[in-house]
Structures are given as C-alpha cells and as structure tokens.
C-alpha cells in the first residue's frame, strides 16, 4: 500500500518541519515532560558527599605533604572522600551491565528496529501521535536514567582528581548514551512529521546508516 505523498523533500525542509512539530508538541506537553525528567533525576538517587571543609594547603601541598600534623577532622574528611569515590567508581563499573540490560539482549541496531516497528504500529492504531511519542519515551527512559547517573558519578570522580582511567570510561559511556539519545530523537521527529514508516522501510533513519558504541 503506497504511503502518502512526501510533504518535505530537502533535508532543510525536513529539519525545519521536525523542529516546528517538536516545539509544538513540547509546548503542549512540557509540564508532563519536565515532571518526568524530575522524577528520573530523583530516582537516580544521590551519591555520598563529603561535608565541605576549607582546604588547608601551603604552597599547593597538602597538610600531610608539608609534614604538618593531621587532625581527626582531616582523617574523617579524607575517609568520607574515599568512600564517596569508591562508591562512584563501583557505580561507573556497573553501568555497562545496566546498559546491556536496557537493550534487553539485543544489539543497539536491533533495539532501534524494535522501537521503530512498535512506534509505527502505534501510529497505525491511533490517529494522534501522542501514543507513539509516549512509546518512544518509554523505550528511551532507561538510557536517560543511565546518562543522568553517569553525569553525577563522572563529576564526582573528576572533582576528587583521581581514577583518571575510570573517568575516561565514564566519559566514553556517556558519549554512547548521548548517541543513543540522538537516535531516539531522530525516530521521534520523523514520527511527528509522518515520515517514520516510509523512512524506516527505505533505510533512511540515522541508526540504519551504521553506528558503533565504544563502551559495549
């Protein structure tokens, strides 16, 4: 069965149409979207934080390096920082497992194929695309939560200036999750302008052109 005539022909026209439709949808649903984002951030939880204490240094060296006596408060602060750092490193180390679990045993490309097929079915079953957009958001939510968690743990590791290799791993995984988010946005925008099914069948979606995730 032939699809409807294509409304937008050039990449510029398509991008402008997606932008207008996405903005209009967000204006209608921004309260729900922002509420969902706040809940996702809240569910991500909080990492242990050391109490803020003034740094006592002499010429850029720490108290211990200067040979000055270390007080009980200094030791407590150091222990709190070590605990927070160890916790963050453990959490970063568990992200790849959670990433694979979110993919439900599929490769990233297979996962996006599933998302597209489900979204197309929603568009066929419902005259309005809100149900389809909700489905896309449901599929993307686990990855959004992982990205929020990584931002938090990555920043804490960097703040303490330690575990450079763990920070690099966290940044690599964050880049992969950011790439996943871009593909979800591409699917959503094409659904909004009514071109998802035709573009999916023609292999024109961004993820169909090939991509790799370095952290998996």
Question: For 71, phi and psi rounded to 5 degrees?
Answer: -85, 170
**Contact call for residues 146 and 185 (beta carbons, < 8 A):** no
Evaluate if residue 83 carries a pLDDT over 70.
no
Please report the pLDDT score of residue 34 as a whole number: 72
Please report the pLDDT score of residue 53 as a whole number: 44
Calpha distance 74→203 (Å, rounded)? 60
Q: What is the pLDDT of residues 40-52, one digit of tens each?
A: 666 555 444 444 4
Calpha distance 122→115 (Å, rounded)? 11
Evaluate if residue 86 carries a pLDDT over 60.
yes
Q: Provide the angle, in degrees to the nearest 10, between the axes of the packed helices 11-44 and 164-192.
A: 130
DSSP label of 50: P
The pLDDT mean for the chain works out to 74
**Contact call for residues 208 and 38 (beta carbons, < 8 A):** no
Please report the pLDDT score of residue 2 as a whole number: 52
DSSP label of 61: B
Calpha distance 158→19 (Å, rounded)? 35
Calpha distance 157→161 (Å, rounded)? 6
Please report the pLDDT score of residue 200 as a whole number: 95
Q: What is the pLDDT of residues 166-207, one digit of tens each?
A: 777 778 888 899 999 999 999 998 888 888 999 999 999 999
Long-range contacts of 154-159 (CB under 8 A, 24+ apart): 154/92, 156/47, 156/84, 156/85, 156/88, 157/85, 157/88, 157/89, 157/92
Q: Give the rounded percent of residues in the chain with a pLDDT score beyond 70.
A: 63
The whole-model pTM stands at 0.62
Please report the pLDDT score of residue 12 as a whole number: 75
The length of the chain in residues reads 216
Question: For 105, phi and psi rounded to 5 degrees?
Answer: 80, 5
Evaluate if residue 1 carries a pLDDT over 90.
no
Among all chains, which residue has been given the structure tokens 């995984």?
Answer: 173
Calpha distance 161→202 (Å, rounded)? 48
């Amino acid at each position: 069965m032939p699809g409807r005539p294509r409304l937008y022909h050039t990449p510029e026209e398509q991008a402008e149409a997606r932008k207008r439709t996405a903005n209009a949808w967000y204006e209608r649903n921004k309260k729900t979207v922002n509420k969902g984002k706040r809940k996702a951030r809240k569910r991500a939880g909080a990492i242990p934080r050391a109490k803020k204490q003034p740094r006592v240094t002499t010429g850029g060296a720490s108290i211990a390096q200067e040979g000055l006596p270390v007080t009980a408060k200094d030791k407590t602060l150091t222990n709190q920082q070590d605990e927070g750092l160890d916790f963050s490193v453990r959490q970063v180390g568990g992200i790849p497992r959670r990433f694979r679990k979110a993919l439900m045993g599929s490769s990233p490309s297979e996962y996006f194929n599933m998302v597209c097929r489900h979204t197309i079915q929603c568009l066929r079953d419902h005259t309005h695309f809100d149900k389809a957009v909700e489905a896309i958001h449901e599929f993307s939510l686990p990855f959004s939560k992982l990205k929020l968690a990584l931002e938090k743990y990555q920043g804490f590791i960097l703040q303490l200036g330690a575990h450079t290799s763990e920070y690099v791993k966290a940044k690599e995984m964050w880049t992969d999750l950011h790439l996943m988010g871009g593909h979800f946005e591409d699917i959503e925008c094409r659904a909004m302008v009514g071109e998802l099914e035709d573009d999916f069948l023609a292999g024109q979606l961004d993820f169909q052109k090939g991509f790799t995730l370095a952290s998996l």
